[in-house]
Amino acid sequence: MSALASSERITISDQTVKDARDAVIPGGASLVLRLADGEEVELPTSIQQTLLHALKLIAQQGSVSIGQLPVELTSTVAADLLSISRPTLMKWVAEGRIGSYKKGSHTRFNRDEVLDLRQRNAAARRSAFEELRSLDEEHEGFLAD
């Protein structure tokens, strides 16, 4: 058996990882379910994207974890998602870079706001990297060893 399912976890075999690595999925492909009677039902785009991304991660890393984040995040979870320390996150709160609210004595964060900030930070990093590459090309390998 290539996958063993329990109520909360699916364990995949080495063969499944190998199959994921060997799978060639062209751009623009779509995923469909073929029913027992031969009818094909196309999956919603969001599910296709999730499954294709999971397949890619299995091929690259040999494993994948899929779950839904709660709407309300602790400071530790928010900091982990942003790849920063918790003290840096709290500094960002003080600077107004991200909103937070108190639940009792604990600081909480809105999931969508954290994910939006993570996406904006990634875009800023990509832009800075492209600018650095462009500068390096202009100056003919200025950054080369």
Number of structural domains found in the chain: 2
Instruction: Let me know whether 98 and 46 are in one domain.
Output: no
Rounded CA separation 82/76 (Å): 10
pLDDT at 40: 94
Type and span of the H or E element at 5: strand 3-5
Rounded CA separation 91/76 (Å): 14
The three-state secondary structure class of 120 is helix
Rounded CA separation 109/1 (Å): 42
Q: Is residue 145 part of a domain?
A: no
Residue 7 is given by DSSP the state: S
Instruction: Let me know whether 57 and 25 are in one domain.
Output: yes
Instruction: Let me know whether 45 and 97 are in one domain.
Output: no
Rounded CA separation 48/85 (Å): 33
Domain boundary among 20, 36, 61: 61
Per the CB < 8 A criterion, the answer to whether 74 and 67 are in contact is no
Structure tokens at 87: 């003290």
Instruction: Let me know whether 80 and 112 are in one domain.
Output: yes
Residue 2 has pLDDT above 60, yes or no: no
Residues spanned by the domain of 86:
72-138
Instruction: Let me know whether 79 and 131 are in one domain.
Output: yes
- Extended beta strands in 14-135, E state: 32-34, 40-42, 72-74, 101-103, 106-110
Instruction: Let me know whether 76 and 117 are in one domain.
Output: yes
Start-to-end Cα distance in the chain: 50
Structure tokens at 110: 């809105």
pLDDT at 4: 55
The predicted model scores a pTM of 0.63
CATH number of the domain encompassing residue 88: 1.10.1660
Domain boundary among 12, 32, 61: 61
pLDDT digit string, tens, across residues 113-139: 999 999 999 999 999 999 988 888 888
Q: Is residue 25 part of a domain?
A: yes
Instruction: Let me know whether 79 and 38 are in one domain.
Output: no
**If pLDDT is split at 50, 70 and 90, which confidence band does 68 have?**
confident
